[in-house]
Amino acid sequence: MLGDRMQKRLNEIIRRLRGLGGLGAPALLLIILAMIVIPLAPFVLDLLFTFNIALAIVILLAVVYVLRPVEFNAFPTVLLLVTLLRLALNVASTRVVLLHGHQGAHAAGKVIEAFGNFVVGGNYAIGFIVFVILTLINFMVVTKGAERVSEVSARFVLDALPGKQLAIDADLNAGLLTREESKARREEVREEADFYGSMDGASKFIRGDAIAGIMILFINIIGGLFIGTLQHGLPIAEALKNYTLLTIGDGLVAQIPSLLMSTSVAILVTRMSKSVNMGQQVVKQVFAEPKVLGVTATVLGLVGVIPGMPNVVFLTLAAICGGVAYLSAQKVKRGATPARDAAPATPAAPQELGWDDVQQEDPIGLEVGYRLIPLVDAKQGGELMARIKGVRKKLTQEMGFLIQPVHIRDNLELAPGAYRLTLHGVPIASGQIYPDRDLALNPGRVFGTIEGIATKDPTFGLDAVWIERGARDHAQTLGYTVVDPSTVIATHLSQIVKDHAHELLGFDETQQLLNALAKSAPKLVEDLTPKLLPLSVIVKVLQLLLGERIPIRNLRSIAEALAENGARSQDPVALASQVRVALSRQIVQEINGLDPELPVLTLAPALERVLQDSLQGGGAVLEPGLAERMHKSLSDQVQKQAKQGQPAVLLVPSPLRPLLAKFTRQSLPDLHVLAYNEVPDSKQIRLIGAVN
């Protein structure tokens, strides 16, 4: 019973201490301020010096074992607080040394006395030399190098920030990332930039701390000499010995944690940004190659047999290196030994041909040259299969129906680095890939040129360069968007599927969509087909919508519009026009978002009259001269809107919309052709010009 009460009481104390966790930093700052103002007893100084050394060791180990530098994003703040703590200890110890130094080496506490006597043997000359050496190592080597690395890392990270953000946008558009993943990636990039920027400034704390330690040393020695001789009447030799030993002990106590913190900064800023264990990485990269250890053992053995050399030491180390090299070589050999070939199977007797031997063409196909096979093979680290799966998932969610699997095969007739996309067995696009390089895309504004193989982006036709893998960061700093070969193919595939989505939707896919809709609206599906409209008409309507880049996610609204207008007409074009009216809010929303105004172009009255007369007369094709002049006028308006960053929308009467949409679909893909009744009431129309 008593034990349970004590356990509950202990848990209550721990809970209250956790609740006060937010007061840790303010409390530490108050303690530092008190150390500067209030004189401390030698025993308290011993506790604080020991705590300072322990804290430096803890931070160093935390830096070693953290997987990624960004995961320790509180390090700049920790570095500032630890530096302030160490400087406050210097002030407190200086006060004690100058006040009580005439009493002997024990006047400033056991820790300072131990470092002044035991570490340097009570010889202040040796202590001074050791302190100077430690300070030079800390200030000239570790601190200076860490400061330079921090500065360069911050500069490169900040310069590469726009390129990384563009790369995230490219992955998002290619379907390789979801919105949540892209948001997390952007947050990670921002945190990385903030971290290295903070480290660039925080490294100055260590440099200032090292300079302050040197100045405090000379101030204490000179000040103690004057105080000991003038105020306490000590001989010059005794005063010099007492105050110098105390000052050297104080300096060593402060310099060792400072060196540990400088080392922590250097380790953190020189690490790679990817998630790896530093100890395993160092062992793997330094000692994993048997040849390195074997050559080292040979050199040590040759030196060990030279007369006059410490033969035992060199030969022992040579034996150790040779043994480790032998074990590593055996391990590599076991891993590389191929499995025994299986016994050849007895060939089966040829079977009679049947209907199963008739192969159907795949809806979507990808053929690759033999150099691109590693991109497809997951066993060789290929990521293309995962990228294509991400593309299918993204497009399925966007378009509103299941995108069929992509059948990938190798084709020896293609060039080694070429690929080809097929639709129902017909090639529709191709490209050239360099699997050992990255593609640097020029988004329109870059700050320099980069060496590589000039090319065109196979998806959008942008200027691009195939660059070496090591030049990726440099290209991003110049403003290029850098993507890997798998992303190039996946993005091209995504664009092709969007352009030909209407060819991928058939009867089976439409029936699956209606079956899914029947679970939530059974009466609507029952009345729609086959009572009102045959399945073939519904398929054609959905294909017309997809052909104009209109997703069919809102299948319920589409079915309701078909059910409402199916009794009056079974013409797929007329029904698609009515469905577009039902989806008007969705269509306009994808054009200009939540903007209350919709900038539109209209047809000049004379041109509109000519087109309507042609349509009423049964003409379905525009007169060549008229079509050329109208295309030129539309093209100029589209370019003008693109320069202003606004969508290009042509507003026409309903009967003319299908004709003009078909006329501009291939040549002017950025032009949206809307009918008057397709603009929702919530949108205000702003007329920006007329097409003559």
Q: Encode pLDDT of 487-538 as tens digits.
A: 999 999 999 999 899 999 999 999 999 999 999 999 998 888 888 899 999 9
The reported pLDDT for the residue numbered 29 is 72
Does the structure show a pLDDT above 60 at 643?
Answer: yes
The lowest-confidence range among 275-279, 351-355, 605-609 is: 275-279
The reported pLDDT for the residue numbered 342 is 44
Task: Report residue 540: phi and psi, to 5°.
Answer: -65, -40
The lowest-confidence range among 28-37, 348-357, 433-442 is: 348-357
Beta-strand pair 418-423/426-432: antiparallel
Residues 6+ apart with CB under 8 A from 419: 366, 367, 368, 369, 372, 430, 431, 433, 489
Q: How confident is the model at residue 383 (pLDDT cuts 50, 70, 90)?
A: confident
CA distances to 99, 525, 545 from 574, rounded to whole Å, are 100, 20, 12
CA 126 to CA 554: how far, in whole Å?
A: 84
55 neighbors 257 (Cβ within 8 angstroms) = yes
HSE-up of 531 (CA within 13 Å, CB side)?
8
CA 505 to CA 556: how far, in whole Å?
A: 17
CA distances to 367, 512, 636, 666, 668 from 640, rounded to whole Å, are 40, 43, 6, 19, 13
> What's the whole-number average pLDDT of the chain?
79
With a pLDDT cut of 90, the percent of the chain lying above it is 17
The residue count for the chain:
692
CA 543 to CA 501: how far, in whole Å?
A: 8
H-only helix segments in 548-656? 555-565, 572-582, 584-592, 605-616, 624-643
pTM of this structure: 0.56
Question: Which of 217, 302, 210 is closest to 261 using CA atoms?
Answer: 210
The reported pLDDT for the residue numbered 367 is 92
**pLDDT average, residue stretch 65-75:** 75
Read off the pLDDT of residues 227-260 as tens digits, 9 standing for 90 and up. 777 777 777 777 777 777 777 777 777 777 877 8
Residue 379: count of CB within 10 angstroms of its CB: 6
Helix (H) or strand (E) holding 409: strand 406-410
Buried b (16+ CB within 10 A) or exposed e, 433-456: bbbebbbbbbeeebeeebebeebe
The reported pLDDT for the residue numbered 187 is 80
CA distances to 400, 423, 655 from 360, rounded to whole Å, are 25, 12, 40
Residue 222, token pair as written in the block: 């000179």
Q: How confident is the model at residue 578 (pLDDT cuts 50, 70, 90)?
A: very high
The reported pLDDT for the residue numbered 284 is 64
Question: Which of 151, 269, 140, 145 is closest to 210 using CA atoms?
Answer: 140
Read off the pLDDT of residues 273-330 as tens digits, 9 standing for 90 and up. 555 555 566 666 666 677 777 778 888 788 777 877 777 777 888 888 888 878 877 7
The lowest-confidence range among 55-59, 176-180, 310-314, 410-414 is: 176-180
Does the structure show a pLDDT above 50 at 458?
Answer: yes
Residues 6+ apart with CB under 8 A from 393: 175
Beta-strand pair 463-468/453-456: antiparallel
Residues 6+ apart with CB under 8 A from 138: 210, 255, 258, 259, 262
Is residue 603 classed as helix, strand or coil in its secondary structure? strand
